[in-house]
Structure 1
Amino acid sequence: MTRPGLGTQLRTLLELLDGELESIYTEEGLDYRPRFTPVLRALLDESPLTVGQIAAKAGISQPAATQTLNLMLARDWVEPQADPADARRRLYAPSAKAREALPKLQAIWAATGGAARGLDAELSTPLSALLDEAIAALRARSFPQRRRDAAAALSRRPKKEKP
């Protein structure tokens, strides 16, 4: 059997982590998804915020922030507000539902952090450190650039002659 590709491995890891985390939220009676956490934490630190501000504080792309906010709006985890400085722009803040659920969420987050530290301790290299390194390396040189470099290197290899 061939080894799965990097994308397949990452999707499997995310499915294992996110799927199991989502089931924990469900068991706790919360209609909450793991992807809401960086957005909600950004809003708990400071709000109201614009989509761009949320993306920057949460460390996600603006399209990802917009998509997540739309899901959170549909489930009443955030509330939109008009921006007094620019009526075309919307600001977001945690909803009453989010503020009410905060003690339960914080308990889950604390236990999840402990579980992540336990996983790191079982690995030859802590996953969190490896992910930090991978993110930094990809920000320094994108994957498309790396693919172009690899393709160029392959094209420069001498062709093997057939016997």
Structure 2
Amino acid sequence: MTESEPLTINQIAKLAGITQPAATQTIALMVKDDIVKINTESKDGRHKFVRFTDHGRAMLPLLTAHWEATTEATKELESELPYSLTEIVKAATSRLEEKPFAARLKEAHQKKIGR
């Protein structure tokens, strides 16, 4: 986020490969922890932009190290599996965007009890 700051929540969601609601929830937690702040910078007030706070910016080296360690651990795990965990998560996320789990659960429940 630092190179192209500020970003909208939708832009962050797309860059992170997550849903907009997931990004909104995560950013809300980051605001609470003083990692980022949200500013309304457009004339009509509809666009909210996310920026790192000084505290958040100071955390970037540690966050980068954690991200790199997570990536390395994921690659190691995937090398031990007969299939790509990353690809399964991407496929599952795509299917859940098409039909959320709550809808799937409701359909399954209706089939079981006939309502």
| Aligned AA (2:14) | A
Q: Deviations 1:10-35 (Å, cap 9, x if unpaired)?
A: xxxxxxxxxxxxxxxxxxxxxxxxxx
**Unaligned 5+ runs, structure 1:** 1-42, 156-163
Structure of greater Rg = 1
- Displacement, 1:83? 0.9
Secondary structure, in 3 states, of the residue corresponding to 1:86?
Answer: coil
Identity %: 34
Normalised by the size of structure 2, how large is the TM-score?
0.71
Distance 1:133 1:77, change over 3 A: same
Q: Partners of 1:68 and 1:116 in 2: how far apart?
A: 21
Q: How is 1:3-152 mapped onto 2 (pairs within 5 angstroms)?
A: 43-136=1-94, 138=95, 142=99, 144=103
RMSD (CA atoms): 2.8
Higher relative contact order (CA 8 A, sep 6+): 2
- Displacement, 1:115? 0.7
Normalised by the size of structure 1, how large is the TM-score?
0.53
**Unaligned 5+ runs, structure 2:** none
Q: State the aligned residue count.
A: 109
